[in-house]
Amino acid sequence: MEVEILEIRDHMGRHPPFEALSDDLLDEVASQVEVSYFRAGTDILAFGDPLEELLYIRSGAVEIFRRSGELYNRLVEGDIFGQFSLLRDRRVRFPARALEDTLIYFLPAAVFEKLCEQDEAFADFVELEKPRLKAAVEAQDKSNELMLTRVRKLLTRAPVMAEYSDTVQQVAKRMQDASATAALIVRQSDDESQRTYTDRNGMRWYLVGILTDQDLRNRVLAEGLSSSVAVSEVVTENIICIQSDESVHEAMLAMLRSNVHHLPVLHRRTPVGILHLSDIIRYETHNSLYLVNNIFNQPSVEGLARLKPDVRSAFIHMVNEGANSQMVGRAMTTIGRSFTRRLLELAEEDLGPPPVPYCFMALGSMARNEQSLVTDQDNALVLDDRFDPAQHDAYFAELAKRISDGLAACGYSYCKGDVMATNSRWRQPLRVWKDYFKEWIVHPNPEHLLHSSIFFDLDGVYGDEALVEQLQALVAEQAPKSPFFLAALARNALNRTPPLGFFRTFVMEKDGRHKDVINLKRRGTAPFVDLIRVHTLACGSQAQNSFERLDEIAQTQLLPEGTGERIRDALEFISMVRLRHQVLSLEEEREPDNTVEPANVSDTERHHLKDAFQVLSYAQKFLKFRYPVPSRS
């Protein structure tokens, strides 16, 4: 390859989609480019002009506009543009202007077509935004298999090994030196069997069995044997082993089945460690199920509050193990609900049984099974219609106060909007709630819309859940018949918008301004949740979780083909970036929040986030179109 082409080849080869090309294709690309310089402020592409080349930014920065003149994107060194028009009618759809002094490489359409034909990844990259994001989410999902943690992950050191002819004292000394509670016993062997292996020095060994602390006590000391007795006299033969790539779950079952606490771990036939029951327990304490069990065993609010660090480690554990956002959301919600239920149980023990039936109702993210570590409490009390304020409210006010204070002590901060059962407005009998809901649907003014978007994600946590189910049914029945309400809610769902994308390490807003942080909840997940809610209410679904809601929406004709999938991928991707950044904060001992600095996000992640924001932007536009304000004639 000629040197001058190397300059071009090396540069393009560092940027997607060229970075994944084969050497031959990359050579061809580099040898075919033409070059031109554009001074800052000059036009590079004008709308409607014929276009026969793909443009690549070698240096500088370029602004891309919509036909209307609205800013569409800002691109920098290593970015490409023009592909959209090349794939269609070869006329410029998005005009481009040099934002800085810019050097452009032009790649002829013929070469571009060849790349699309011969390289699938290249075609995916330039064709549409969707497959790129989809591929990213699928890659995330693949790592879920890690949830099945392998035994080898729990091993921290090589096993203590001793020979068949050693005395028990020699073996005990070796265990002491290694602070181990068991040793594997081997003898030299020339036979070939399932139990033989060859060590690094080429010696062939037969794995005879295991000697544990317990064996030393029960079979040596208790029997009055001498410390110089050969280990062969007391070793446990016929041992159960496990392969290092088996799951931890499998190891636990093996221990339970054969009632042993030590499990030799083999890689093929070579011993690589000894797994002890305590290793599994230590590992499982990070497991959310273990944590939930622990919550229900706490006798006091103080005890519950002490579990805060465990909640954090369960969260970190799950995200690091590759759980997807739905799994994390569900587990964190289960934990949150368990705290709430346990607090209610403790309060009832103290205050006595409730004077009338009630249901403690979760709202917002808890109702949707989408809690993360950073979460407020949103709750309310639905009381039986026999409720008499004068007679009963003192009990429920006290109950609400205990739960709210208890949750705050456990790390669920008070709701800033006072959407808590401590607020008498949200501590009402069922008929009042029904009136509230009907009123909000019939008169969707800004305040009512705000309430709808909080209270229409609702679920019973504790008590007589039929009370909440009646409310869920009411919403599912009324909302689809109320086009005016839906139109208003749709407009309300457009209040929070995504940014346009990124420019170098900044967040780029639609008006072209740059910011150095982005709140991924406010600008990403929350607007998605809002718009999914509108479609859900429109189709009369009672699903609460956003992903489940998308499944139900997919059964209807509300969304164009493929849109639901795109929304799911985009929401999942943004959610995971948010969760991963929260884990990062925790690991760096900073307080986790919902903000992310683009400078801390990888190049590829920025690309995907930008795609996800674009999906959101389109979905919001569609919402406006799908739920027009009906003329009231």
- Smallest gap, in angstroms, from Cβ of residue 31 to another protein? 7
Q: How far is CA 517 from CA 100, 507, 522, 585, 591, in A?
A: 23, 7, 12, 15, 16
Strand, helix or coil for residue 518: strand
The CA-based angle 155-160-162, given to 5 degrees, is: 150
Choose the stretch contacting another protein; rule: CB under 8 A; options: 100-108, 141-149, 457-465, 498-506: 100-108
Q: What is the dihedral of CA 329, 331, 336, 337, to 10 degrees?
A: 110
Choose the stretch contacting another protein; rule: CB under 8 A; options: 99-107, 215-223, 238-246, 601-609: 99-107
Say whether residue 100 binds another protein (CB under 8 A): yes
Choose the stretch contacting another protein; rule: CB under 8 A; options: 31-39, 471-479, 539-547, 588-596: 31-39
Say whether residue 4 binds another protein (CB under 8 A): yes
What is the rounded distance in angstroms from the CA atom of residue 531 to the CA atom of residue 11? Answer: 41
- Smallest gap, in angstroms, from Cβ of residue 32 to another protein? 6
Say whether residue 138 binds another protein (CB under 8 A): no
For another protein, give the closer residue by CB, 100 or 284. Answer: 100
Say whether residue 9 binds another protein (CB under 8 A): no
What is the rounded distance in angstroms from the CA atom of residue 295 to the CA atom of residue 310? Answer: 10
What is the rounded distance in angstroms from the CA atom of residue 74 to the CA atom of residue 59? Answer: 13
- Smallest gap, in angstroms, from Cβ of residue 459 to another protein? 57
For another protein, give the closer residue by CB, 101 or 250. Answer: 101
Choose the stretch contacting another protein; rule: CB under 8 A; options: 32-40, 169-177, 320-328, 394-402: 32-40
What is the rounded distance in angstroms from the CA atom of residue 49 to the CA atom of residue 51? Answer: 6
Instruction: Answer whether 236's CB lies under 8 Å from 250's CB.
Output: no
Instruction: Answer whether 539's CB lies under 8 Å from 558's CB.
Output: yes
Contact pick of 23, 34, 350, 603 for another protein (by CB under 8 A): 34
What part of residues 145-174 is at the interface with another protein (CB under 8 A)?
none
For another protein, give the closer residue by CB, 6 or 148. Answer: 6
Give 439-456 as a 3 state SS string.
HHHHCCCHHHHHHHHHHC
Please count the residues of this chain forming the interface with another protein, following the rule CB under 8 A.
25
Say whether residue 103 binds another protein (CB under 8 A): yes
What is the rounded distance in angstroms from the CA atom of residue 492 to the CA atom of residue 488? Answer: 6
Instruction: Answer whether 426's CB lies under 8 Å from 420's CB.
Output: yes
Contact pick of 102, 287, 482, 545 for another protein (by CB under 8 A): 102
- Smallest gap, in angstroms, from Cβ of residue 106 to another protein? 7
Question: Could you say which DSSP state residue 50 is in?
Answer: B
- Smallest gap, in angstroms, from Cβ of residue 101 to another protein? 3
Say whether residue 36 binds another protein (CB under 8 A): yes
Choose the stretch contacting another protein; rule: CB under 8 A; options: 6-14, 201-209, 260-268, 317-325: 6-14
What is the rounded distance in angstroms from the CA atom of residue 212 to the CA atom of residue 274? Answer: 11
- The token duo for 201 is 């020095």
Contact pick of 59, 294, 497, 519 for another protein (by CB under 8 A): 59
Say whether residue 32 binds another protein (CB under 8 A): yes
Say whether residue 365 binds another protein (CB under 8 A): no
Length of the chain (residues): 633
Say whether residue 60 binds another protein (CB under 8 A): yes
Q: What is the dihedral of CA 423, 427, 433, 435, to 10 degrees?
A: -70
Choose the stretch contacting another protein; rule: CB under 8 A; options: 94-102, 237-245, 344-352, 494-502: 94-102
Which spans of this chain sit near another protein (rule: CB under 8 A)?
A: 2-4, 6-8, 11, 31-39, 42, 58-60, 100-103, 106
